[in-house]
Amino acid sequence: MALNIIRGEIPRAQKVVIYGPEGIGKTTLASQFPNPLFIDTEGGTEHFDVNRLEMPERWDQLLNMIKEVSENPDICSTLVIDTADWCEQIAIKYIIDRANVGSIEDFGYGKGYTYIGEEFARLLEKLNMVKDAGINVVVTAHAKMRKFEQPDEVGAYDRWEMKLTRQSAPLLKEWCDHLLFCNYQTMVVEMENKTKKAQGGKRVIYTAHRPVWDAKTRAKLPECVDMKFENIASILPEKIQKAAPKRAEDEHKLQGLMIAYTISEDELVNLIHEKAPATKDYKTLKDMPADRIAWSLKWWNQIVDIITKSKEEKNNG
């Protein structure tokens, strides 16, 4: 059998992890990715004007949300999971409730943490489906200082790590294409009296591994850049960056038809709920799944006939 050799770069959606201390601006940075849709597990986007799904309370609900996004690739250009550590807490609750135990420690011999790793791997598999559908995936995570023991003369020192269990963190680091560590950059300067003082506090993104943090990238980026999206935009293939979301185009087209035929948002949404119900509940056109918008355009003439007839019957009745 002849080998089919393929040469050259293959543009595809990217898997990005952004982690750093609380308040550094992880959610803000994630919101600047192309056409983002947030699954907000901790309420961190309440002050952001972004598209979001309802906050998941159960593990199966979270996995189903991700699956539905992968099946509707026109709904967004970037899916943001905010944050990984809160997702892990939902998984832990699921594991505990399923086994009817008091805590993850009750399984004994580390079995509970093995279950966490297995469930977190399921999450990453679902996110791979989103990536395969052509949607970028961004996962945010909190960071914390953890004592790191070196088995040589270096000894122990503190380093930044993701606020995840030792089972989930390695899976997430291996899974992503880009692991971006965000922190405040400080400079130690010597004063006139020979004392030293920390200055600065600029927010930066580190893209390369250091003994005190993990970071990596498959793109050609400097090891440290200011914390602005334009400084890391090149991690997304140009085709992915500039791709216009079809959902937005369809929504705009549908709005024009509704104005032209004097059909209200409530009339359209109620009819679609009746004729083409979806697993996701929605009350406005903005929240309507992409496949239901496409369905509305396809059957527009029939929709107009049904709504017009209903109006006439009400007026005559």
CATH of the domain at 173: 3.40.50.300
Q: Distance between CA 8 and CA 15 in Å, rounded?
A: 20
User: CA-CA distances (angstroms) from residue 65 to 38, 167, 173, 204, 255?
Assistant: 11, 23, 23, 32, 26
Residue located via tokens 């539905």 = 68
Query: Residue 194: which pLDDT band, with cuts at 50, 70 and 90?
Result: low
Q: Would the pLDDT of 244 be above 50?
A: no
Residues 224 and 275 in one domain: no
pLDDT mean over 137-148: 91
Contact between 240 and 77 under an 8 Å Cβ cutoff? The reply is yes
Residue located via tokens 């606020």 = 163
Q: Is residue 2 part of a domain?
A: no
Range of the domain at 178: 15-242
Per DSSP (E only), the strands in 213-290 are 224-226
Q: Is residue 62 part of a domain?
A: yes
Q: Is residue 9 part of a domain?
A: no
Dump pLDDT digits (tens) for 80-126. Answer: 999 999 999 999 999 999 999 999 988 888 899 999 999 999 999 99
Residues 259 and 221 in one domain: no
For 86-141, give the DSSP string. HHHHHHHHHHHHHHT-SSGGGG-TTHHHHHHHHHHHHHHHHHHHHHHTT-EEEEEE
Residues 55 and 108 in one domain: yes
Residues 235 and 289 in one domain: no
Q: Is residue 8 part of a domain?
A: no
Last residue of a domain, one of 193, 223, 242: 242
Residues 256 and 171 in one domain: no
Residues 64 and 117 in one domain: yes
Question: For residue 81, which phi and psi values (nearest 5 degrees)?
Answer: -100, 115
Closest CA to 120 of 80, 61, 164, 65: 164
Residues 198 and 292 in one domain: no
pLDDT mean over 129-154: 85
Last residue of a domain, one of 221, 242, 263: 242
Written as six digits, the tokens of 55 are: 């906050």
pLDDT of residue 154: 59
pLDDT of residue 38: 96
Q: Between 267 and 246, whose confidence is greater?
A: 267
Residues 229 and 253 in one domain: no
Number of domains in the chain: 2
Written as six digits, the tokens of 249 are: 């185009």
- Name the least confident of 39-43, 72-76, 116-120, 207-211: 72-76
Question: Is 204 exposed, middle or buried, given 0-12, 13-18 or 19+ CB atoms closer than 10 A?
Answer: buried
Which residues have C-beta within 8 Å of that of residue 181, sequence separation ≥ 6?
19, 20, 143, 160, 205, 206, 213, 214, 215
Contact between 76 and 35 under an 8 Å Cβ cutoff? The reply is yes
Residues 42 and 184 in one domain: yes
Last residue of a domain, one of 242, 270, 296: 242
Dump pLDDT digits (tens) for 160-188. Answer: 999 999 999 999 999 999 999 999 987 66
Which residues have C-beta within 8 Å of that of residue 151, sequence separation ≥ 6?
none
Quick check: helix, strand or coil at residue 188? strand
Residue located via tokens 């609750």 = 93
Query: Residue 61: which pLDDT band, with cuts at 50, 70 and 90?
Result: very high
Q: Distance between CA 196 and CA 190 in Å, rounded?
A: 4
Query: Residue 197: which pLDDT band, with cuts at 50, 70 and 90?
Result: low
Q: Is residue 5 part of a domain?
A: no
Per DSSP (E only), the strands in the chain are 15-20, 36-40, 51-53, 78-82, 136-149, 156-162, 178-190, 196-206, 224-226
Dump pLDDT digits (tens) for 18-59. Answer: 999 999 999 999 999 998 999 999 888 888 888 899 899 999
Residues 261 and 230 in one domain: no
Dump pLDDT digits (tens) for 283-299. Answer: 888 888 777 888 899 89
Q: Is residue 4 part of a domain?
A: no
User: CA-CA distances (angstroms) from residue 260 to 59, 111, 255, 300, 311?
Assistant: 43, 61, 9, 12, 16
Residues 301 and 166 in one domain: no
Query: Residue 13: which pLDDT band, with cuts at 50, 70 and 90?
Result: very high
Q: Would the pLDDT of 246 be above 70?
A: no
Q: Would the pLDDT of 241 be above 60?
A: no
pLDDT of residue 280: 64
Q: Distance between CA 228 and CA 307 in Å, rounded?
A: 48
What angle, rounded to 10 degrees, do the helices at 84-99 and 59-70 form? 130
Residue 207's CB is within 10 A of a number of other CB atoms, namely 22
Q: Is residue 308 part of a domain?
A: yes
Residues 159 and 287 in one domain: no
Please provide the average confidence, as pLDDT, over all residues in the chain.
Answer: 87
